[in-house]
Structure 1
Amino acid sequence: MKYDIELALENKQESYALNQVAAQANGAVWLKSGNTVIMATVVIDETHFVDEDFLPLTVQYIEKSYAAGKFPGGFIKRETKPSDFEALTSRIIDRSLRPLFPKGFANPIQISVLVLSADTDADLQILGLNAASAALYLSDIDIFNSVTGVRVAKIDGEIVFNPKHSDLERSTFDLYLAGSKDDMLMIEMQALGSDEAQVIELGLADPFVDPLMVSQTVTMRQSNAMGEDELIEVLAQAQAVLLEANTVYENAFKPYAKAPFELQCVIKEIDSEMCEYVVQHHTDDLKRGISQMAKTERSTALRTIRKTIMAEMPQWDEHELKKAIESVKRSMVRAQILENNVRADGRSLREVRPISIETNVLPSAHASALFTRGQTQ
């Protein structure tokens, strides 16, 4: 394989082969980093449009068993449904690239990321995003920003950027960020536990412990808490890493980018007259409606407002009125959150919905539970 672009970023080397695989795709790259090889393709349906208010983007991240030198086990011995890691990585790539598309983009588009060979220490979520972003940037779609990811860990009390997979197991938290040169587009974080063996005295602490056993080694969890100031500093440093990396990517990819073709963006305007009428005559009704705790109650209240307005203005189109009410409601909820720090249902930004857990709800099952959070079960 002949590689057109060779990049050295921090502690890794990335090589990109362009226009040598998937020639019929709008954009395709073959990425090699160490022993990891990923192929990413971008395909767009130029003849069809989706008449809905969303971006028709589909992202598939697929890992083949042979990428790790294995065959699928079990009786069938074939590739099966996507694993949890594949589904989560597909969502990470989707959420990172979706904001790049212009408003009103209505052509169905599919991004496929296929892991053909995997290194045990490679961060496939970062490399998968890099390959997908490169394929999108090099395609003939009108997008001029690259996106990359950075992973932050805290190992032995020290902040580490883009750690090896083996080192991440010793980290107390895992922070993944994706962004362009100017914007941070996606953040995902989880707290991890780091085990430390400590000797504690149990002989006098627990009367049920054998008196002859004066100490015992138990596993304790290290504190994985991070202060707000420290987190803000980490985010600022991560943004600097994203800026540097995306600058390198765009400078390297720009000479190879295809000339963009014109796509028709479907932008549906909201009727300003309807919005003004809703604000002037039904602001209080909307406030009462969106303050309901249950989502079903809020939907019922909005439907009642729409019927009331249709009775007042029968010449209006009900579908257009629905969009106008949703637009006004969205503005009100946004202002309420930013100005008053209050959610739509009246909760503060730090308040969670009521949670309840009921166990052993199925008598014949080995184990069962019913988890309820608000109206979600």
Structure 2
Amino acid sequence: MNHVFETTIAGRKLRGEFGKLGMLSDCALKISYGDTVVLVNANASDSPREGIDFFPLSIEYQERLYSVGKIPGGFIKREGKPSDKSVLNARAIDRPLRPLFPKGYRNDVQIVCTVLSVEQDNLPNILAMNGASLALCLSSIPFTTPVGTVSVGILNGEFVINPTSKQREESTLDLTVCATQDRVMMIEAGGSEIPEDVMCDAIMFGFEECKKIAKFQEEVMEQYGKTKAEVELYKVDENIEKEVKEFAFDMIKEAMYITDKDERNAAIDKVKEKINEEFAEKYPDNAADISEIVYKTQKYVVRNMILNEERRPDGRSFKQIRPLSSEVQILPRTHGSGVFTRGLTQVMSVATLGSISEVQILDGIGEETSKRYMHHYNFPSYSVGEVKPLRGPNRREIGHGALAEKALEPLIPSEDKFPYAIRVVSEVLSSNGSTSQASVCASTLALLDAGVPIIRPAAGIAMGLVTSEDLKEEEILTDIQGLEDFFGDMDFKVAGTEKGITAIQVDTKIAGLSNECIKKAINDAREARMQILNVMNECIPQPREEVSVYAPKVFTIKINPDKIKDVIGGGGKTINKIIDETGVKIDIKDDGSVFVTAEDYPSGKRALELIESYAKEVIAGEVYLGRVTKVSNFGAFVEILPGKEGLVHISKLDVKRVNKVEDIVSVGDEILVKVTDIDQMGRINLSRKDAIQDSTKDAEEQNN
């Protein structure tokens, strides 16, 4: 039976259909918002996966280019691996849903969101997030807490829910809020230096709309949802848990109170060895249980230390940042480089400048077709002292690179002011918490070192949270390290400048964040950001005045768009001639903007001169020094500008009568000529006679 349900969000209809498509899925939901349509399929395995200590949730977001009427580019005419944007959207769907599944649930769950149709006014990723929550609620999978999602923009000082394509272009804020009816679950934001109070208000504005959507999903679930399956939840054997805790609690507590990370890890390893010696023979089949008990005990000790003793594992106060240092120009041949260190977290970023033709071309379902600023992030295993095979970028690396890119992109100068394509690569050298925000800092240093005139320096910090079981008590931590992230309840990343916020990403492991928690985290993050910016400013206070000697030199010029064909020439003959002569790269846009990329200034300047000459307009009445290219019995053809040739009729060759053209000029001669006329077909008529008479007249006037 097909069930249809509808509601209205921001004046547009949200419509769901359940039961008609994908009959063999636990739930196949076709959900639409305007003309944007997403199919969401939710399925789960019948039994838990054995031998794992985590919840195996898999989210897939599949972009189909037919959704926007495109055929994939390239040789293979079908969609390949997921785009970076698809990966980011899948991660965004995962983060608010994962904490709301029952604790101990270890059945495989897969949610596949397939984008079928896209209307650019209505974003498919926002629709997919709502669809994933609703599909889970309607399925037999044990998920019963609906999550609503909206995007929020700012137009003329007013907040807008789910802004249209035109509104997004004008908005200074791109905010996504996910929430249950009680608390905010996830925040993703990018903005042009948004003040903290405005950001908090925007989040709360979005939260109110999310509550309505979550309420609608709950009503649909109650009316049409399947009966929830009775599932087996993983639970540690209570007797084993009691024995292990009695034996090891004091040893674990003593080890966890060691402030030095390496010493603490070594002490924990020794405790685990003792636990293994004590219980391996007695409980040979319960190694997973014992490992879980040790983890839970460590978590309890750390959280109790913070909540009840107001003490952090490394001895810092709740608002204290670890030791900071900044360094630039550490690599001799790169265009810009910087290293940022915060405690045991260290990131090196390298900036590379390229010609405008080196922008990234995007072949996806969004409105963006190219990207001028590119940010990539690498997290090798050596950064945490481990040995693992090196593979391509994983979802985490793609996500962290995108977050740093979002933080810095609003600060990149416009193409008019700085006509380069820019790529920054962040290499994580050492990791102990919040490498993504360290990469924002290191990349700012690298951009300044490369001479990129960014609007203002940016920095980032990660805030943490520890709450009591009933969520009534909470402590917010500034600059969380790995241990606090691992055992804590949230990772609240905030990046920005001294003026405001440029990016936020929030993950939570609990059933959401209170309004007070969000506001305090944002304001405390600002205090920390100011401290970090001070350290960075001491290292390099402003962009270098010139780009590196190893960076390409870019020159720009604007020509009449009608003259582009003259600069290019038939079959590219003219532009290739300029390139061969000067060794430069030339990029021309439809609006007449010309970008010349050269290895040195003289080559670039020469190329500009040639381009200007080919693009120069021939003006009637002007005198030009031209070169005779051909003679005939009726006159001489003279090239007055590159590619611009006119005729001097025999009657116009001299002030006296001319019997034969060759008596006056020969091929290769340079002569002064005046443009007497340009006819409707663009043919240029020239006169040497008029040029001579004008010259004589000027001389007489000077003598008088």
Q: Same fold (TM over 0.5)?
A: yes
Structure 2 match to 1:218: none
2:195 is aligned, of 214, 225, 230, to 225
Hey, what's the Cα distance between the residues in 2 that align with 1:259 and 1:266?
Answer: 21
Match of 1:219 in 2: none
Residue aligning to 2:94 = 94
The aligned amino acid for 1:333 is V
**C-alpha RMSD of the superposition:** 3.1
1:100 is displaced (CA, Å) by: 2.3
Q: Does structure 2 retain, via aligned residues, the 8 Å contact 1:97–1:133?
A: yes
Work out the CA distance in 1 between the residues paired with 2:105 and 2:282. 28
Counterpart for residue 188 of structure 1: 188
Query: Structure 1 residues 283, 16: closer, same or farther in 2, change over 3 A?
Result: closer
CA contact (8 A) 1:126 1:148 kept: no
1:326 to 287, 291, 295: 295
Counterpart of 2:207 in structure 1: which amino acid?
A: Q
Q: Secondary structure at the match of 1:4?
A: strand
Q: Which secondary structure state, in structure 2, belongs to the residue aligned with residue 153 of structure 1?
A: strand
* 1:178 maps to amino acid: C
Does 2:20 match 1:6? no
Structure 2 residue identity aligned to 1:335: N
Partner of 2:71: 71
Matches within 5 A, 1:155-304: 155-190=155-190, 192-193=191-192, 223-227=193-197, 231-269=199-237, 271-281=241-251, 283-288=253-258, 291-292=259-260, 294=261, 297-304=263-270
User: Is contact 2:3-2:19 (8 Å) kept?
Assistant: no
Aligned to 1:210: none
Shift, 1:322, TM fit: 4.2
Alignment CA distance shift 1:186-1:343 (3 Å): farther
Give the superposition deviation at 1:276. Answer: 3.7
The one-letter code matched in structure 1 to 2:301 is M
* CA apart distance, 1:301: 2.5
Equivalent AA in structure 2 for residue 226 of structure 1: E
Which protein has greater RCO, CA pairs closer than 8 Å, 6+ apart? Answer: 1
For residues 236-270 of structure 1, the C-alpha deviation after alignment (integer angstroms, 9 at most, x for no partner) is 44333222221122223422111222222222246
Verify: 1:306 aligned to 2:306, yes or no: no
The offset of 1:309, in angstroms, is 5.4
Looking at structure 2, the residues matched to 336 and 180 of structure 1 have their Cα atoms a distance apart, in angstroms, of 30
Q: Is the radius of gyration larger for structure 1 or structure 2?
A: 2
Identity among equivalent positions (%) equals 29
Structure 2 unaligned blocks of 5 or more: 346-382, 384-427, 429-704
In the alignment, residue 214 of structure 2 is paired with which amino acid? N
Q: 1:86: Cα distance to partner?
A: 0.9
Write the letter of the residue equivalent to 2:62.
Answer: I
Structure 2 CA distance, aligned partners of 1:172 and 1:298? 45
Deviations 1:99-136, CA, capped at 9 Å, x for gaps: 22111112111100000111112122220111111211
| Offset of residue 96 of structure 1 | 1.6
**What one-letter code is carried by the residue in structure 2 that aligns with 1:299?**
N
**One-letter code of the match for 2:109?**
I
1:370 to partner: Cα distance: 6.7
Alpha-carbon displacement from aligned partner over 1:314-362 (angstroms, at most 9, x marks no partner): 8765945543332222122223444566543445555556465666748
Alignment of 1:112 onto 2:81: no
- The one-letter amino acid paired with 2:299 is R
Return the TM-score normalized by structure 1. Answer: 0.78
3-state SS of 1:104 partner: coil
Please give the alpha-carbon distance, in whole angstroms, between the structure 2 residues aligned to 1:285 and 1:303.
Answer: 9
Instruction: List aligned pairs for 1:315-354, cutoff 5 A.
Output: 319=287, 321-339=290-308, 343-350=312-319, 354=324
| Counterpart amino acid of residue 78 in structure 1 | R
Instruction: Determine the C-alpha separation between the residues in 1 that align with 2:189 and 2:15.
Output: 29
Q: Work out the CA distance in 2 between the residues paired with 1:360 and 1:71.
A: 45
Matched position secondary structure for 1:159: strand
C-alpha separation between the residues in 1 aligned to 2:84 and 2:321? 26
- For residues 252 and 3 of structure 2, the distance between their equivalents in structure 1, rounded to whole angstroms, comes to 62
CA distance in 2, matches of 1:156, 1:337: 43
Contact 2:30 2:40 (8 Å CA) reproduced: yes
1:345-364 alignment runs, 5 A limit: 345-350=314-319, 354=324, 361=331
- Judge conservation of contact 1:3–1:15 (CA < 8 Å) in 2: no
* Alignment CA distance shift 1:79-1:111 (3 Å): same
Q: Is the 8 A contact 1:50 1:108 kept in 2?
A: no
- Aligned CA distance change for structure 1 residues 69 and 339 (closer, same or farther; 3 Å): farther
334-343 vs 32-41, greater mean Cα deviation: 334-343
Distance of aligned partners of 1:279 and 1:76 in 2 relative to their CA distance in 1, 3 Å threshold:
same
SS of the residue 2:271 aligns to:
helix
Label 1:77 to 1:349 Cα distance change in 2 as closer, same or farther (>3 A).
farther
Displacement of 1:368 after TM fit? Answer: 7.2
Question: What TM-score comes out, normalization by structure 2 length?
Answer: 0.44
Q: CA separation of 1:27/1:166 partners in 2, compared to 1, >3 Å: closer, same or farther?
A: same
1:132-171 mapped onto 2 (5 Å cutoff): 132-171=132-171
Deviates more, 1:338-347 or 1:261-270: 338-347
Aligned-partner Cα distance in 2 for 1:174–1:277:
52
Q: Distance in 2 between matches of 1:35 and 1:185?
A: 28
Relative distance call for 1:317 and 1:287 in structure 2 (3 A) is: farther
**Secondary structure of the corresponding residue to residue 78 of structure 1:** coil
Letter in 1 for 2:137: Y
Q: CA deviation at 1:287?
A: 0.5
Q: Which string of whole-angstrom CA distances, capped at 9 and with x for unpartnered residues, describes residues 20-48 of structure 1?
A: 11110001111122111100001111145
| 2: CA distance, partners of 1:21 / 1:90 | 22
Query: Aligned AA for 2:172?
Result: T
In the alignment, the residues of structure 1 paired with residue 167 and residue 310 of structure 2 have an alpha-carbon distance, to the nearest angstrom, of 39
CA contact (8 A) 2:253 2:298 kept: no
Relative distance call for 1:326 and 1:8 in structure 2 (3 A) is same
- SS of match in other structure, 1:306: helix
Contact in 1 for aligned 2:148/2:210 (Cα 8 Å): yes
